[in-house]
C-alpha cells in the first residue's frame, strides 16, 4: 500500500519527528470522514477537538491541520494518524482511480454545457457560497475598468478593521483577514487582463503601502502577511511586463521599494524585473544602488541590493567593495570575501583576505575567542591542501586556548594526529583544562571540560580519577558509567543507583523513560557482578512502591523489567 500512496511510514516519521509520530499512532482510531481524491485525502481527526486534516501526496508529501500545532506549519500527530490510515487502506488505488474518473467526468460535463447553463450553475454556487460571491464581485468590479472603484475595493480588502477586536486582529482571525486581503491581488490581475496594466502598476504599489501600514495591528504568527505581499508583488510584476513602463522610472521605484521595505513583506527582488528594465534600466538601477550605498555604506538594505546586483553581473570587485566597507570584528566578512574570490578563481587573494581577517581579530579585543570558527575552518582547510600541517596545528591550538571547549579540543586532536604531534599537544591541552577545573572555570552547563575531553579520548581511568578529584556533572557521571560498565561494573552501578533515586519521586513519561533506561543499566551491572538476585530484590521493591504509576509499569513490562 505504501507504493500506491507514494509515501511510507518512514516519510511520515521524517516529517513529524519521533515524538509526533509516536503520538499519532494513538490517534489512528480517531480518524473519521475520510475522503480520497487523486493525490490528496481529507478527514476529521478527533482529539481535544475535531480537527480538519488534509494530506497531499502528489510530487511530495505535505499536509495541513487546523489544530494549534498544525497551524504553526508543523506536521502534527493528526496528520500522522491520517497518513497511517491511508497506508492501511487496501482499496486506496481503487479510490484514487474513482477520484480521477470523477474529475474527468466533471471536466467533460462542464465542457458541453451551454453559456446559459454555465451561468445558471455559477448563480447557484454564488447563492450557496458567500466567499465565492465576494471573490466574483471583486473581479467583476475590476473587470469594469473603473479605476476609482478598483482603488476603493483594494482599500476595503486590505482594511483589517472588520476582523479586529479591540483594534487588533487576533491570531484566530488572521487567516480570515488574509483570505479577504488576497483578493486585492485578484483586482490588480483582472485590470491587467482587461487592458489596464499601466493603471494596475500604480494600484499594486498603493496596495503594498497599505499592507505595510496595517502589519502592526495583526497577529501574523503564521506569516499570512508575507503571502499577501507575495501575491501583490506577483500582480505588480505581471502588470509591469504587460505595460512596459519607462525603465529608468521603474529602476527608481524598485530601489526605493527595496530600501523602504525593511520587513520584506513583498519579497520583491529587483532582478526579477530584468526583462522589464532591459540593459538601460539595469544600468540605472546599478548607478542608483551605488549612490545609495555610498551615502549609507553600513545600511543593510543598501548593501544587500548592491550585493545582489553585483553578484548577478559577476562584478566580484564590487561585491568585495560592499563587504569591505563594513568589516565585521569576528572576521566573518573577510571570510565572505575570500569565498567570493575563490568562486572567481582568485585563490591567492582569497587566502590573503582570510589571513587578514584572522590577524585583525587577534589584534583587537576581545581577541581570539571572538574569531568566527568558520574562518578558522577555512584557513585550516587551505593550509591542509598545501601541506602546511604545522600551521594547522598552531591555528587549532590558538583556537583551543581561546575557547577551551570540547569541540576545539577535538579539532586540535584531529590536526595534531594528522601532523604526528598529538601526545605533546594533548598533554598541554589537558593541563590547561585541569587548571580551568581547579579554578572552577567550567563549560556551558557548569561541568569541567576536562572530563568531557578524557571521555572523548576514551581514557576512562583518567576520567574517573579527574571526576573524583575535581567533581563532575551528572551527565558526565552517566557517560562515565556507560563507558566503563563492562570494566568497572561496581563503580558504574554506584553512579546509576544515585541517578535513579531522584527519578523515583518524579512523574511523567520522560522521567519514566529515563528511569527505565537506568534500570536496564543497573541490571547489566549486576549481571557483570554476578549479583542478579540483588537486582531482582531492588526491582521488586521499586515496582511495589511505584505500582500506581500505570505508564511506568507498562514501560517496565515492555522492557522485561
Q: What is the pLDDT of residues 139-196, one digit of tens each?
A: 676 666 678 888 888 998 999 999 988 889 998 888 889 988 998 998 898 888 888 8
Let me know if residue 376 belongs to a domain.
Answer: no
444 and 410 part of one domain:
yes
134 and 173 part of one domain:
yes
186 and 86 part of one domain:
no
84 and 167 part of one domain:
no
Domain of 232 in residue numbering reads as: 117-313
Let me know if residue 85 belongs to a domain.
Answer: yes
Give Cα 213 to chain centroid, integer Å. 28
- The CA distance from 497 to 478, in Å, is 11
51 and 191 part of one domain:
no
Q: Which residue has the cell 513583498?
A: 266
The pLDDT tens digits of the residues spanning 49-92 come to 889 999 988 778 889 898 888 877 789 999 999 999 999 888 88
Q: What is the per-residue pLDDT for 364?
A: 59
Number of domains in the chain: 4
Alpha carbon separation from 25 to 13, 81, 486 (Å, rounded): 11, 6, 37
Nearest CA among 308, 315, 223, 302 for reference residue 262: 302
Nearest CA among 237, 165, 171, 229 for reference residue 201: 237
User: In which order are the strands placed within the sheet that holds 31-36?
Assistant: 31-36, 40-46, 50-57, 61-65
CB burial of 499-510 (b: ≥16 within 10 Å; e: otherwise) equals bbeebeeeeeee
Three-class SS of residue 298?
A: coil
Let me know if residue 453 belongs to a domain.
Answer: yes
Kindly provide the residue ranges of all beta strands, DSSP E only, lying in 315-437, ordered along the sequence: none
Rounded to 5°, angle at Cα 526 from 520 and 527: 90
pTM for the full model?
A: 0.58
Let me know if residue 25 belongs to a domain.
Answer: yes
Let me know if residue 94 belongs to a domain.
Answer: yes
The residue out of 313, 337, 358 marking a domain boundary is 313
289 and 195 part of one domain:
yes
Which positions ≥6 away from 114 have C-beta within 8 Å?
none
Q: What is the per-residue pLDDT for 263?
A: 61
DSSP notation for 87-137 = HT-TTHHHHHHHHHHHHHHHHHHHHH--HHHHHHHHHHHHHH-HHHHHHHH
Nearest CA among 493, 426, 433, 425 for reference residue 467: 433
The residue out of 460, 484, 508 marking a domain boundary is 484
183 and 133 part of one domain:
yes
104 and 190 part of one domain:
no
Query: SS3 for 15-73, per residue?
Result: HHHHHHHHHHHCCHHHEEEEEECCCEEEEEEECCCEEEEEEEECCCEEEEECCHHHHCC
Let me know if residue 186 belongs to a domain.
Answer: yes
398 and 468 part of one domain:
yes
Q: Do the bridges between strand 50-57 and strand 31-36 make them parallel or antiparallel, or are there none, so unpaired?
A: unpaired
470 and 402 part of one domain:
yes
- Whether residue 30 contacts residue 47, with contact meaning beta carbons closer than 8 Å, is answered with yes
Nearest CA among 458, 499, 460 for reference residue 478: 499
The residue out of 253, 281, 313 marking a domain boundary is 313
549 and 429 part of one domain:
no
Give the chain's end-to-end CA distance (angstroms, integer): 36
Q: What is the per-residue pLDDT for 302?
A: 84
Let me know if residue 302 belongs to a domain.
Answer: yes
Nearest CA among 201, 202, 187, 208 for reference residue 145: 187
CB atoms within 10 A of CB 221: 11
- Burial of 490: CB neighbours in 10 Å, binned 0-12, 13-18, 19+: exposed
501 and 459 part of one domain:
no
- The CA distance from 519 to 198, in Å, is 75
The three cell numbers locating residue 286? 546599478
Q: Which residue has the cell 598545501?
A: 386
Let me know if residue 378 belongs to a domain.
Answer: no
- Whether residue 341 contacts residue 349, with contact meaning beta carbons closer than 8 Å, is answered with yes
The pLDDT tens digits of the residues spanning 327-345 come to 888 889 999 999 999 988 9
Q: What are residue 83's phi and psi, to 5 degrees?
A: -60, -45
Q: What is the per-residue pLDDT for 101?
A: 87
Which positions ≥6 away from 331 have C-beta within 8 Å?
354, 357, 358, 360, 361, 371, 372, 375
- The CA distance from 45 to 192, in Å, is 43
Q: Which residue has the cell 589571513?
A: 355
Which residue stretches of the chain have pLDDT < 70?
1-5, 130-132, 134-135, 137-139, 141-145, 261-263, 363-369, 441-446
Amino acid at each position: 500500500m505504501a507504493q500506491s500512496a507514494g509515501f511510507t511510514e518512514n516519510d511520515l516519521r521524517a516529517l513529524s519527528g519521533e515524538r509526533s509520530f509516536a503520538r499519532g499512532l494513538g490517534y489512528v482510531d480517531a480518524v473519521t470522514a475520510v475522503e480520497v481524491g487523486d493525490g490528496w485525502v481529507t478527514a476529521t481527526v478527533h482529539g481535544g477537538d475535531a480537527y480538519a486534516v488534509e494530506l497531499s501526496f502528489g510530487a511530495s508529501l505535505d499536509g495541513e491541520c487546523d489544530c494549534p500545532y498544525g497551524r504553526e506549519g508543523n506536521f502534527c500527530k493528526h496528520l500522522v494518524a491520517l497518513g497511517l490510515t491511508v497506508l492501511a487502506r487496501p482499496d486506496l488505488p481503487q479510490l484514487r482511480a474513482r477520484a480521477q474518473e470523477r474529475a474527468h467526468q466533471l471536466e467533460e460535463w462542464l465542457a458541453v454545457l451551454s453559456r446559459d447553463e454555465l451561468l445558471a450553475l455559477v448563480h447557484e454556487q454564488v447563492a450557496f457560497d458567500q466567499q465565492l460571491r465576494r471573490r466574483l464581485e471583486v473581479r467583476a468590479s475590476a473587470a469594469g475598468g473603473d479605476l476609482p472603484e478598483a482603488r476603493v475595493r483594494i482599500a476595503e480588502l486590505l482594511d483589517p478593521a472588520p476582523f479586529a477586536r479591540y483594534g487588533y486582529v487576533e491570531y484566530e482571525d488572521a487567516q480570515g483577514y488574509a483570505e479577504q486581503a488576497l483578493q486585492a491581488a485578484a483586482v490588480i490581475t483582472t485590470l491587467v487582463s482587461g487592458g489596464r496594466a499601466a493603471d494596475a502598476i500604480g494600484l499594486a504599489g498603493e496596495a503594498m503601502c497599505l499592507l505595510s501600514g496595517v502589519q502592526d495591528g495583526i497577529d501574523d504568527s503564521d506569516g499570512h502577511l508575507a503571502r499577501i505581499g507575495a501575491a501583490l508583488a506577483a500582480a505588480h510584476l505581471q502588470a509591469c511586463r504587460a505595460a512596459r513602463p519607462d525603465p529608468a522610472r521603474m529602476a527608481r521605484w524598485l530601489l526605493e521599494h527595496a530600501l523602504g521595505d525593511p520587513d520584506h513583506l513583498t519579497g520583491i527582488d529587483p532582478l526579477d524585473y530584468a526583462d522589464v528594465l532591459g540593459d538601460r534600466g539595469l544600468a540605472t538601477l546599478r548607478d542608483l544602488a551605488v549612490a545609495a550605498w555610498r551615502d549609507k555604506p553600513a545600511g543593510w538594505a543598501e548593501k544587500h541590493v548592491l550585493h545582489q546586483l553585483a553578484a548577478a553581473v559577476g562584478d566580484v570587485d564590487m561585491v568585495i567593495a560592499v563587504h569591505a566597507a563594513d568589516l565585521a570584528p569576528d572576521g566573518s566578512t573577510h571570510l565572505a570575501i575570500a569565498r567570493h574570490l575563490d568562486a572567481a578563481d582568485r585563490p591567492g587573494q582569497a587566502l590573503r583576505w582570510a589571513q587578514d581577517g584572522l590577524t585583525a581579530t587577534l589584534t583587537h579585543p576581545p581577541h581570539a575567542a571572538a574569531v568566527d570558527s568558520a574562518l578558522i575552518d577555512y584557513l585550516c582547510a587551505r593550509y591542509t591542501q598545501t601541506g602546511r600541517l604545522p600551521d594547522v596545528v598552531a591555528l587549532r591550538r590558538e583556537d583551543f586556548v581561546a575557547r577551551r571547549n570540547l569541540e576545539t579540543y577535538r579539532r586540535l586532536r584531529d590536526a595534531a594526529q594528522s601532523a604526528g604531534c598529538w601526545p605533546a599537544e594533548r598533554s598541554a591541552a589537558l593541563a590547561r583544562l585541569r587548571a580551568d577545573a581547579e579554578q572552577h572555570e567550567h563549560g556551558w552547563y557548569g561541568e569541567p571540560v576536562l572530563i568531557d575531553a578524557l571521555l572523548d579520548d576514551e581514557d576512562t581511568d583518567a576520567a574517573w580519577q579527574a571526576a573524583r578529584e575535581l567533581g563532575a556533572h551528572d551527565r558526565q557521571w552517566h557517560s562515565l558509567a556507560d563507558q566503563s560498565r563492562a570494566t568497572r561494573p561496581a563503580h558504574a552501578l554506584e553512579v546509576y543507583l544515585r541517578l535513579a533515586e531522584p527519578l523515583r519521586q518524579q512523574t511523567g513519561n520522560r522521567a519514566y523513560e529515563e528511569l527505565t533506561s537506568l534500570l536496564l543499566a543497573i541490571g547489566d551491572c549486576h549481571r557483570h557482578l554476578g549479583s542478579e538476585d540483588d537486582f531482582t530484590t531492588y526491582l521488586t521493591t521499586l515496582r511495589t512502591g511505584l505500582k500506581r504509576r500505570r505508564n511506568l509499569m507498562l514501560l517496565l513490562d515492555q522492557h522485561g523489567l
